[in-house]
Amino acid sequence: MKKLIRSLASLPRRQKQIVLVMMDICALPIMMWLAYAIRLARPNVQIMQGLETWYIYVAVFGIGAFILLGVYSAIVRSFNEDYLLRISIGTFIQIVALYTIKKLNIAFIPMSIPLMYGFMLFSYMWWSRALIRYLTLKTFALKQGRRRVAIYGAGLAGQQIAAALKRSDNYLPVCFIDDKRSLQGQSLSGLKIYGPQRAQQKLGKFGIEEVLLAMPSVGRARKKAIIDTFDTSDVKIMELPGVTQLVDGQVQVSDIREVDIIDLLGRDPVPPKPELLEKNIKYKVVMVTGAGGSIGSELCRQIVKHQPKMLVLFEMSEFALYSIDRELQTSGVQIIPVLGSVTNQVKLERILKQYSVQTVYHAAAYKHVPLVEANPFEGIYNTSIGTQRSVDAAVAQGVETFVLISTDKAVRPTNVMGASKRMAELYCQGLASTNPTTQISIVRFGNVLGSSGSVVPLFKKQIAQGGPVTVTHPEVTRYFMTIPEAAQLVIQAGAMGIGGDVFLLDMGEAIKIKDLAKQMIRLSGFKAVDEQGNGDIEIQFTGLRDGEKLYEELLINQNNVSTTKHERIFKSFEAYYSVNEIRAVFDELKSLSLSGSDTQRVRNILISYVEGYMSKASHIE
């Protein structure tokens, strides 16, 4: 039987239609005979007396009506409301035709026959297609081993994806899960609806491998709470994209994706303030240094949305510059790609002057703590000296706004990367104290999810390889934010600056990296190995790397903080040095970095000027 079904299903589309037509040609006259036999209570009856070849007329007219209505052009496996409507209209046409024949005395037809025939015809068409669909899906589901799925959310999106999954070759919807008590215990689209607690007990019993979140309009906080309810379950969590991505209102199997790790933040983004986003961008010439990096490239994506007159991309990596330039060429904004280093002040000034740049977002910096720790002179030269030359160039060319992108690692750093960033901040603060025509601001924030320095891509790769997932320390914690949210807040913070400001982005609650690893393992459908050795993927602790801290901070002085007109942006008032003093220090750092000697002197400078800097013996040696 299965072999027959598979052979029929593998036929070309035209041949499948011919099989259905032949099947109906035989069935329609039988339906007419059955109506007469039931009506007259005997099998040997004269049908449509006066019309000798009645069976030909019944078959040809019936098939013709269904062909015109597109019944045979529809795919049986997509058996839905539209298909039933076509069958209903075709049946109604044939009932009317029978009453017309009776009225014109073409043949003898008892008054009840058309309705009886119509009922049996509709039933036959419905049940025959349903049976074909059921047998086909069942046969191919057994062949391909469809994944058993529970759908969380019995709303419109849930119903649409359930219908799509039933037609798919890869997924088999088993049940719905929904919080609404009024729905629990009921059935929808042939699937029973369970409450979250009840569903937990059924996951193993039903062999469910994945839970699909079909709530495209739910916020991150609610989504995280739902994900946490499956903490002890060995199921993979999948989701549908947000409502803005499902613009056509039709949910498809291709819309299913893995849960974005962003949702584990459990924090909904605050809508940006348009006036702040546009203040330093709209109708202005903007330049982004480090334009090919994680933050720099996202800044560029956000900037082109707000109608700049021109966007200059300044980047030292040829491939990174090529990638972001190519991506933005279709934005409708004039894009100028410039290959160069921020340590080249002469070139910076020439580019700023040539294109009359009005706003600079300085994102160029090294960010990998262990690499900078192993190459301290390069880190200081690129990050500290590079920032000095960038802001000096901006001031020399009369740029209106200069925004330094900083990091939480600049606060009481234990590594050269953080210390070099704090030195860059100090130079910007010192220069801003001279009241130049350029408005200089600093924006400090923590880790961004998915950046080149983030643990997320590494964890994904390790999970895909079956583990182990490596974490430096059980207690290490970090602040996280999405790249788009960070870029938007950077732009808005820069718009609020008046000179020398240090803005802090609200990063929410700190997250243990160990917990992040466990959540990513669980979302992938696996279980982290516990203390008893039970589980799928092991988490290994490798020890803190040189210069790495257990906890990151955003504030040097917890007391000198004020709010701003944006609820996610704060302003910090921090000590700094005069521009003459800090410039002299930078001249010495430049000489030391170029010579690559006297590591002890470099360490002493950082200890003297970077508050809270704690070096280890392994640093700068």
What is the C-alpha to C-alpha distance for residues 531 and 7, in angstroms, rounded to an integer?
52
Question: Which among 409, 421, 518, 549 is annotated as catalytic?
Answer: 409
**Which pair of structure tokens corresponds to residue 402?**
């200069």
CB 276, CB 566: distance < 8 Å: yes
Torsion of CA 29, 33, 36, 42, to 10 degrees: 180
**Alpha-carbon distance 200 to 311, whole Å?**
52
CB 446 within 8 A of CB 554: yes
- Measured distance CA(363)–CA(320) in Å, rounded: 14
Give the phi and the psi of residue 487 in degrees, each rounded to 5. Answer: -65, -40
Contacts 24+ apart (CB under 8 A), 68-77: 71/125, 72/17, 72/20, 72/21, 73/17, 76/20, 76/129, 76/132, 76/133, 76/136, 77/133, 77/136, 77/137, 77/167
Q: What are the helix and strand counts (H, E) for the chain?
A: 21, 22
In angstroms, the CA 268 to CA 255 distance is 22
Matching residue, tokens 């997320």 = 456
Task: For residues 330 and 326, give the distance between their C-alpha atoms in angstroms, rounded to a whole number.
Answer: 8
**Beta-carbon-side half-sphere exposure of residue 290 (alpha carbons within 13 Å):** 24
Question: Is residue 571 annotated as a catalytic residue, yes or no?
Answer: no
How far apart are the C-alpha atoms of 48 and 354, rounded to whole Å?
93
| Tokens 């870029």 belong to residue | 487
Please tell me the distance from the alpha carbon of residue 60 to that of residue 50, in angstroms, as a whole number.
18
Q: Known catalytic residues?
A: 409
